[in-house]
Structure 1
């Protein structure tokens, strides 16, 4: 590529939402891409925001060019605004890290898409009809027309192959996620005590970090908790569930209400509070049915919190040998794992130590470096394929 500065667009118009899942991925990757460029500048990043520059990026705003969309409407942004504005910006490539790119390709700008999982095909019933049609249509179009596809685990890559075709594999790169570095930094005792008092947390509690929606399997978790409560009676720890309300959550919330005084759901919590909650929890219980990656598993491990998670999808790949793996469809199996962890201090300490080592295998700096290399490959390919003027 020589010394020419290339221009790469990066879509952050989704991150006005609460920073969970794919939106946290988009944010953390962008931050670390910008930090890489400070030491070895060769890419000028053009970041797209909805309404305003996101507060997380204000300290870094001298390292990128910002383009502000006047609305937060996903449909308008992707299908109208991006196709209109991209041709004017002379980008060498653009990356869509959260939601799929526009249906109609933007001029001759190579597109890169992160496809986190094949959930709309594997578990279509966990989406609304609108969500199924929207994501299946745009993701299928995206994988056909994007120059490269990033996915976040080997399991996700195999799922994409299964549902969308083996012929796409050559353009798919597996670039994993990582825990935020802040998770490994011990919160002060004073702050932990403030969080404990704010949520009236006992000395021992079980933590679940999850959007309240069918795919996260909270009904089975609540059934498992009822079994545990019958066994332990008054010694059963509180189940503390944090996360936003997703689609089709009323039935799940009703189940929580039946377990009042034993299950507490405060909704979304601030990032700093979440880290303290990880660090104080007896364990994280994360029995999701299906994950492209499963970031709470690594965040908990980084924070020194033992992990119980599902033996399905990408979760064994992310947890490695550092978590207790359970059948997410078997409440008795989940309850048994929690009981075993509560009753075995040596196991808990081993999981904490192994969890630190497992989380350290992943870093956002390495993730950003791999993504940056992919951008450079795409731009070099574009330059090679461009017609030469005589």
Structure 2
């Protein structure tokens, strides 16, 4: 039976770049490459990098002109997705985020991917007026099946929302390798930073645990004059962060950059180590990016990271500054341990192929479509 997949608009107007939109773009591209599944995305126009060539009705100069106004960009794409859902010309609907607008229009099975339950596990780090917590619950309750991106997320779904195990399938994220580079170390032609550095990637708010991590690493930065910390992404340092850098006397040792994909690969490749101090994550794609680029990983000892990294990560207690600093120092000074982490990371990456991720996702579509 030919499965007609419909992916809605949401993540592709919320993100120009980003993990969730890349995940759904990968699903679309994988489905397009198969003979048993057709895929369509409910977009009139998008600025998303991963679907920049998608043949949507207004993905052209006219659309660029018409969609300059952000409110129109949102409302027109939403209306178009709603129109396609109402036509009922699909087998499976896979909404790309948690706005439940589609529930009253969808007459066919709906599959929802839950990336994490951070808002529910750590509500103290989020706005109490955030309506997406309720939206997520409504989407989960009305889904025919749920894809959880880790066993950790599956357990949270069962414990927090009492979702039946039969309605959940764990499908780990896959890491896309270029066909000619699979199994190789892809050296990127980007200028290497001038000094030795530790690498932090992504947002620095709340549960990302950046203040405790920064306090822990500050003594190492002050002790080693050649050492720096590079923070990739997350936007420029905010006022309170700049004050903290001043108080810790490391303002000249901590650098924020907004790298391109190639520049980020180069940062991984030349870093002493990548450090992931989050209190909670649903998966952790930067771990796989580090493995691919032969970068040692030092991370919190939370359940998700242990699930993804196993023995390829040096773990610390994210609440304990001494544990963080001691683990970083161990990796910096113990070359055999560092090389073992790199070797184990290459082996661990093999468990997260894009092909396996896509095959399991397609199996969910077949299951719900009967």
The normalised TM-score by structure 2 is 0.86
Aligned positions of 1:151-230 closer than 5 A: 151-165=148-162, 167-182=163-178, 186-188=185-187, 191-193=189-191, 196=192, 201-230=193-222
CA distance in 2, matches of 1:141, 1:203: 49
Q: Give the superposition deviation at 1:66.
A: 7.0
Relative distance call for 1:163 and 1:123 in structure 2 (3 A) is same
Q: Give the superposition deviation at 1:270.
A: 1.1
Is 1:322 paired with 2:319? no
Aligned residue in 1 for 2:46: 52
Aligned mate of 1:255, from 244, 247, 253: 244
Q: Give the superposition deviation at 1:85.
A: 3.7
Q: Deviations over 1:325-346 (max 9, x none)?
A: 1111111111111111111111
CA distance in 2, matches of 1:32, 1:85: 21
Q: Give the superposition deviation at 1:187.
A: 4.3
Aligned positions of 1:1-390 closer than 5 A: 1=1, 5-16=2-13, 17-35=15-33, 37=34, 41-49=35-43, 51-52=45-46, 54-57=48-51, 61=54, 76=75, 82-102=81-101, 104-131=103-130, 134-165=131-162, 167-182=163-178, 186-188=185-187, 191-193=189-191, 196=192, 201-230=193-222, 232-235=223-226, 237-245=227-235, 250-256=239-245, 259-266=250-257, 268-380=258-370
* Secondary structure of 1:15's aligned partner: helix
Question: Structure 1: where are the runs of 5+ without partners?
Answer: 381-390
CA distance in 1, matches of 2:119, 2:58: 30
* Secondary structure of 1:357's aligned partner: helix
Which moved further from structure 2: 331-340 or 76-85?
76-85
The normalised TM-score by structure 1 is 0.82
8 Å Cα contact 2:42/2:80 also seen in 1: no
Question: Structure 2: where are the runs of 5+ without partners?
Answer: none
8 Å Cα contact 1:83/1:104 also seen in 2: no
* Secondary structure of 2:38's aligned partner: strand
Q: Deviations over 1:98-146 (max 9, x none)?
A: 4454363323122111111111111112222343xx2221111111111
CA distance in 1, matches of 2:100, 2:57: 19
Q: Give the superposition deviation at 1:67.
A: 8.6
Matched residue pairs, number? 356
